[in-house]
Structures are given as structure tokens and as C-alpha cells.
Amino acid sequence: MGKIIMGIQIILFSILILFSIRVFFLDLFRITSRSMEPSIIPGDKILVNKIKYGIRFINPVTLIKSKRNEYTRLRSWGSVKKEDIVVFYWPKYNELTDSDRTIYGDCIVKRCVALPGDTVKIDIPIAKQNNTYNEPRDTLMFPQSKYSKRLLFPYDSTLNWTICNYGPLYVPKKGGHIKLNKENITKYKDILKYENPEILFFDNYILINRKKDTEYTFKNNYYFMIGDNIYHSIDSRYWGFVPEGNIIGKVILILYSTDQVNKGIHKLRWERLFNHL
């Protein structure tokens, strides 16, 4: 009986260790989208370093007081850098309501192109096939949503921005200031609402707890993420800035990759085995 109990304890301890590793340190994700081609392709199994940017855990104070899931992060030895390939929860700004105050959508992978305090400006040639623009394939991830209509963030048609001619757009930084004119309220409305759930909007000012403000100081850092397959990626150009709390970790390598067409030994893409990113 003693050996059985010891065996059960060893199994439970092993499960706990594996669970802790996946929650706090390393995790595996399978890629199904083509938005990061050619760097990452469907069928790749990627390894993600979750402590590179600091271990995340749900903030109990925010959860109890506001009934809102919000992650806090322990101090890390690294930070997100430009060109990092990052796994994160896409931000559900349009679903931040009184009944569902969560900013965490599905896990996706993109490349960081702008850091907090940077200004985004995209100016690249437009790719055409048969003189028609191809719908981004990631649209399949967001059925019956505004993304399928190709509306670009910040959803202001007067800007005339396109996926290839986009910006300039300031990426909010913790402690950064903006003046609250009509243009800036349009651009940063999602973030203002995210950081201040009880906010009221007007043309040139906001009300927070009945206090009128014509300037605003951001409370969090944000990032701008884009897929390498730039013509076929639903990313920050469509849904805006990624809050720091949404970031899960850095992609460090492709562990292995499988081809869904071939079978047997030919199913494994040997050339992608243990590819560092």
C-alpha cells in the first residue's frame, strides 16, 4: 500500500511540475493560420518562452474589486523588442462591456513592429493578383465581424489609410501624454475605455468619475503587431494596439512541423525541425 501511495504522489507531483512549466515558463502552440508565412507556416509546432517578458498571473485585487480579469507581470530580464515574434491574446476592445470586461481573445502570433512610444508608418507596394485585392485569410478567425469588412483601425474613413499605406500613428506608452481633441479621441477611444471603464466621451474632452479632462496620460504600455504575410494578415491594422498584459511570450523555435497532405514519414517537414526564430 505504501508503494502505491508513493507512486500516486510521484505521478501527481510530476503532473504539477509539467503544469507549472506550461503555465509559467514554456508552452507549445500549433499554427493553423498563414498570416506569418514564410517565417511560420500552418502545421508548425512552436515553442514559446513565457518568462522572457516576465511571468504573468491574474491580479487578484482587480478581479475582486472590478470583477475584471487583468494580468500582472513579475519583473523580467528582458522586454519585447522590434522584430520579436510574439504570442498574445488579440484584444477584444469591442467586447469590453459591463457584463463581459475581458480584453483577452484567442491566442495568435504576429511580429512586433512598433514599441510603446514609437510612431507607426507603413508605406509598401500593394500586391495584386488579377487586379483584385485578396481578402486576408485570417478573416476566417473572425466570422461575421467588422474585420471581414476590411475596416482599418482607428475606423476613421477620412484618414484614407490602407494596409500598405498606413499611419503615422503614435503607439501609447505608459506615462505618455496626448491632447484630447476629436482626432485623438477617435484614435485612442478603445484604450481610453479599456483603462477607464466608466468613461464618457465628448468631441474634445472626456469625463472620468465626473471629472472633465482635455489631456490624458496613458496607464499602460501598448504594442503594434503585424503578420509577415502582410497582405493576408488580420493584425493591429484592423484591431489596434496590443496591451502589455495580453502578451504571453516570445516564439523561440519551431519544434517540428507536419504536412497535412502527405502521410507517414513524409508527413514530417524535416527541414523545419528545431528551426530557431
Q: Is residue 137 part of a domain?
A: no
State residue 204's pLDDT score: 87
State the DSSP string of 207-274: EETTEEESEEE--S-EEEEE-SSTTS--SHHHH-PEEGGGEEEEEEEEEEEB-SSS-GGGGB-GGGTT
Q: Is residue 102 part of a domain?
A: yes
Q: Is residue 41 part of a domain?
A: yes
State the DSSP string of 128-197: -BTTBPPPPGGGGGSTTSGGGGTPPTT--GGG---SSEEEEEEPP-TT-EEE--HHHHHHHHHHHHHH-T
The CATH code of the domain that includes 105 is 2.10.109.10
- Structural domain for 58, as ranges: 28-130+152-264
Q: Is residue 140 part of a domain?
A: no
Tell me the pLDDT tens digit for each residue of 67-96.
566 666 666 677 899 999 999 999 988 766
Average confidence (pLDDT) over 140-148: 41
Q: Is residue 122 part of a domain?
A: yes
pLDDT score of 126 more than 50: yes
State residue 60's pLDDT score: 61
State residue 13's pLDDT score: 46
Tell me the pLDDT tens digit for each residue of 165-221.
999 999 999 999 999 999 999 999 999 998 998 888 888 888 888 889 899 999 999
Average confidence (pLDDT) over 104-119: 93
State residue 130's pLDDT score: 40
What is the reported pTM? 0.79
pLDDT score of 145 more than 60: no
Average confidence (pLDDT) over 13-30: 60
Counted domains in the chain: 1
Q: Is residue 22 part of a domain?
A: no
State residue 19's pLDDT score: 47
Average confidence (pLDDT) over 244-249: 91
Task: Answer for the pair 97, 213: CB distance below 8 angstroms, yes or no.
Answer: no
Q: Is residue 217 part of a domain?
A: yes
Q: Is residue 272 part of a domain?
A: no
State residue 129's pLDDT score: 42
Percent of the chain with pLDDT over 70: 71
